[in-house]
A and B are shown apart, each in its own frame.
Chain A
Amino acid sequence: MTTKTQKTKAKAKSHSKRRREAMPDRPIPGAAADLEPSSRPGVPMEMEAQPLAGARAPIEPQHADVPVFKHAGRKQMPPVFGTAQPPKGLSGVLRKVAYGYPDHWARHWMVLLVADRVDVWEHRLRRSLPWGPATVAALVAGGLTWRRLSRA
C-alpha cells in the first residue's frame, strides 16, 4: 500500500512528465531562449534601488504659464508635467472641481467624465459660432423675401 507521500511524488513525477511531453518541437525560432528567468528583463520585478542610466538629480522644477491641476491626494506638483490643452470654460471649472478630490474617490472620475462631455459641446458651439450670425442673417433675409413675394 502506497503512502500519501509516495502518491504525491508519483503525481508530481507524472505532472512533470506531462510537462516535458507538452514541450513543443521548437514552434518558433529561438523557442525557450528566455527559459532561464534571469534572462528575462523584468525578473525580479523590483530591482535593487539605483538611479537609471542617464538620470539626473535633483530635477529642476518645470514652470508653466497655463493652469495645470494636481489631484487633491498629491502633496506637490511633480517636477515635470504636460501643459497641453489647458482647462477653459465650463469644462475647465468642472475639471477644477474634480481635481479637488483625491483620485481614489469615485466622484473625482465621475466629474471628469461629465467635464469631458461638456468640453465636446463647448467645442462644437465655439466651432459653430462663426456660422451663427450668417445663418441668422440668411434666415431673416429669406423670411423677408418670402413675405414680399407672398404679398405680391
Chain B
Amino acid sequence: MRALTYQGPYRVEVENKPDPRIEHPQDVILKVTRAAICGSDLHLLHGLVPDTRVGCTFGHEFTGEVVETGREVSQLKKGDRVVVPFNISCGTCFYCQRGLTGNCENSNPASDVASGVFGYSHTTGGFDGGQAEYVRVPFADVGPMKIPDDMDDESVLFLSDIFPTGYQGAEMGEIKGGETVVVFGAGPVGLFTMKSAWLMGAGRVVAVDHVPERLAFAAHYAKVETVNFKEVDDVVLHLKDMFDGRGPDVCVDAVGMEAEGSRAHRVLGLGLKMEAGAPTVLTWCINTVRKGGNVSIVGVYGPPWNFIPIGTAMNKGLTLRMNQCNVRRYMPRLLEHIRSGRVDAKAIITHRFSLEQAPEAYHLFAQKRDGCIKCVLAPHGHA
C-alpha cells in the first residue's frame, strides 16, 4: 500500500509499505477514507517526540471502511464506515472502566505516559497511523464509532480527536455560566475549545494567537474577541487589563510545545532540547488567569520536563487540569452537536489533498501558509 512515512526531522515521504494485517483477534483493518493532519503531528515532523522511528506512518485522525475483521470482533463487519478515536483503548482496564480511555494501560508497552495512539511514535505504543491507504485498528469493538448513513465522513472526521479535545479543554475549565475564558491558540483545537466554551455557557471568550488569518477565522467561526500577542507590549498585562485587571476565570492552553512568543524557551526547548519544547503558553496561562482560576491544558508537551512557574500557580491558588482526551465518551454527545447544526465541524477544513500530496500538505500546514487551518487527505480520492 501507499503510506506517508517519516524520514527524519522536517522530512516525510509517501512510499510503498506492506499492507497492515490482523495481529490480534480484536483487530480490524480499515480502508482509510479520510485522514487529517493534526497540529500534534507537527511535533513528530519536527523530531520533538522521542522514539519517532524512520518509516513511521503518522495520522491519528481518520475515518475508514472495514475491510477485514479479527475473529473476536462482533460489533463491526465488512463495509461498515467508522470514525476512530486517536486513543487505543481496551475498555476493560482500571482506567478504561472509569472512562479514562486516554490512560488505557493495555495498549502501550513503551511508556506509562499515555495509552496507545495511532501513528504517534513508539512512545505511544508503536502503532502505524492512518495517513495511508489502510490501517490496523486494535480493540475494534471498543473505540470506533459507526458513522450514521446520512452523514458524510468529513462531517464526523474531527470526532476522532480535535473536537473532543477542544471540548474537554473547555470542560476542564469548569465553566458554570458567565465565566470569562481565554483560549491560547486559534488552531483547530483552539477553535473547538472556543465553540465548546460557548456551549457550556461562557460569558466572554477571547482567542490569542499571532497569525492574523487564524484570528480572523476564529472571530468569524467561533464569534470570539481576538488578541494578536505580537501586536501588544505584554500579552499577560494586556489580558489582565481586559478583565478588570485580575485576569480571566479560565485559561486554556491549546498550543503545546512549539509555542511562539519567548525566544528563551524556543532556544532552550526547541534548539538545545534542555526542556521538552517551549512552554510559553502554559507560562502565560498561569500568569494571566485570575487567582483561584482554572488552567486547562490540552496542548501536547513531551517528556521529560519543562520550565514552568509552578510557584506562581501555587501562590495564586490555581487549579490545573489536563489530560489526553478520553475521546470515546465524547463522541455521542458531540455527534449530536454536529447533527443539530450547533457545530459545523467540517467548516474548518481549508485544504484537501490526495495521499501523494501529503508532504506538501505538511509543509503548508506547518508554515500556516495560504490561510491554512486544517488539511485533510483522501487516500482513495475525494468522492
> Hey, which bits of chain A sit against chain B, CB under 8 A?
19-20, 22-24, 27-35, 37, 39-43, 45-57, 59-60, 62, 64, 68-71, 73-74, 77-85, 91, 95, 98-99, 103-104, 106, 108-110, 112-113, 115-116, 119-120, 122-124
- Known pairs A51-B97, A120-B9; A29 contacts B54 (CB<8 A): no
Contact, CB under 8 Å: B177 / A32: yes
Contact, CB under 8 Å: B26 / A80: yes
Contact, CB under 8 Å: B198 / A27: yes
Separation of A33 and B54 alpha carbons in the complex (Å): 45
Contact, CB under 8 Å: B199 / A30: yes
Contact, CB under 8 Å: A81 / B109: yes
Map CB proximity to A onto B238-250 as digits: 1 under 8 Å, 0 otherwise. Answer: 0000000000000
Can you list 18 contacts pairing A with B, beta carbon distance less than 8 Å? Answer: A27-B198, A29-B342, A32-B201, A33-B199, A41-B330, A52-B101, A52-B328, A55-B92, A55-B96, A62-B23, A70-B109, A81-B108, A81-B116, A81-B125, A85-B54, A103-B303, A112-B51, A116-B52
Which B residues touch A64, using CB under 8 A? 23
Q: How far is the CB of B67 from chain A (nearest CB, A)?
A: 19
Number of A-B pairs whose CB atoms are under 8 Å? 232
Which A residues touch B142, using CB under 8 A? 52-55
Which A residues touch B176, using CB under 8 A? 35, 37
Contact, CB under 8 Å: B305 / A84: no
Separation of A97 and B90 alpha carbons in the complex (Å): 29
Contact, CB under 8 Å: B342 / A28: yes
Known pairs A82-B116, A112-B50, A113-B50; list 14 more (Cβ under 8 Å): A28-B222, A32-B177, A33-B342, A41-B167, A42-B329, A56-B91, A57-B92, A70-B109, A81-B107, A82-B127, A84-B56, A95-B122, A98-B51, A109-B304
Q: Which of B105, B110, B340 contacts A30 (CB 8 A)?
A: B340
Q: Which of A31, A51, A56, A116 contacts B26 (CB 8 A)?
A: A56
Separation of A48 and B98 alpha carbons in the complex (Å): 6
Separation of A31 and B122 alpha carbons in the complex (Å): 40
Describe B's contact surface by its main secondary structure.
loop
B359 at the interface (CB under 8 A from A): no
Which B residues touch A83, using CB under 8 A? 23, 126
Q: How far is the CB of A45 from chain B (nearest CB, A)?
A: 8
Q: Which of B88, B138, B177 contacts A23 (CB 8 A)?
A: B177
Q: Which of B51, B90, B340 contacts A80 (CB 8 A)?
A: B90
Separation of A104 and B111 alpha carbons in the complex (Å): 9
Contact, CB under 8 Å: B126 / A81: yes
Separation of A115 and B168 alpha carbons in the complex (Å): 34
Q: How large is the interface on B (under 10, 10 to 19, 20 to 34, 35 or more residues)?
A: 35 or more
Separation of A52 and B204 alpha carbons in the complex (Å): 36
Contact, CB under 8 Å: A23 / B110: no
- Known pairs A42-B168, A60-B24; A120 contacts B54 (CB<8 A): yes
Q: How far is the CB of A42 from chain B (nearest CB, A)?
A: 5
Map CB proximity to A onto B168-197 as digits: 1 under 8 Å, 0 otherwise. Answer: 100110001111100000000000000110
Describe A's contact surface by its main secondary structure.
loop
- Known pairs A27-B223, A30-B340, A103-B112; A47 contacts B171 (CB<8 A): no
Separation of A134 and B98 alpha carbons in the complex (Å): 61
Contact, CB under 8 Å: A47 / B113: no
B381 at the interface (CB under 8 A from A): no
Separation of A124 and B23 alpha carbons in the complex (Å): 30
Contact, CB under 8 Å: B108 / A33: no
Which B residues touch A108, using CB under 8 A? 304
Residue of B72, B110, B223, B304 most packed against chain A (CB within 10 A):
B110
Contact, CB under 8 Å: A22 / B96: no
Separation of A12 and B116 alpha carbons in the complex (Å): 46
Separation of A39 and B330 alpha carbons in the complex (Å): 11
B311 at the interface (CB under 8 A from A): no
Q: 8 Å CB contacts to A: which residues of B49-106? A: 50-57, 72, 74-75, 88-92, 94, 96-101, 105-106
Q: How far is the CB of A119 from chain B (nearest CB, A)?
A: 5
Separation of A64 and B23 alpha carbons in the complex (Å): 8
- Known pairs A47-B99, A57-B92; A85 contacts B53 (CB<8 A): yes
Separation of A41 and B178 alpha carbons in the complex (Å): 20
Q: How far is the CB of B269 from chain A (nearest CB, A)?
A: 13
CB closest chain-B residue, reference A85? B53
Which A residues touch B199, using CB under 8 A? 28, 30-34
Q: Which of A45, A56, A68 contacts B109 (CB 8 A)?
A: A68
Q: 8 Å CB contacts to A: which residues of B118-158? A: 122-123, 125-128, 138-139, 141-142
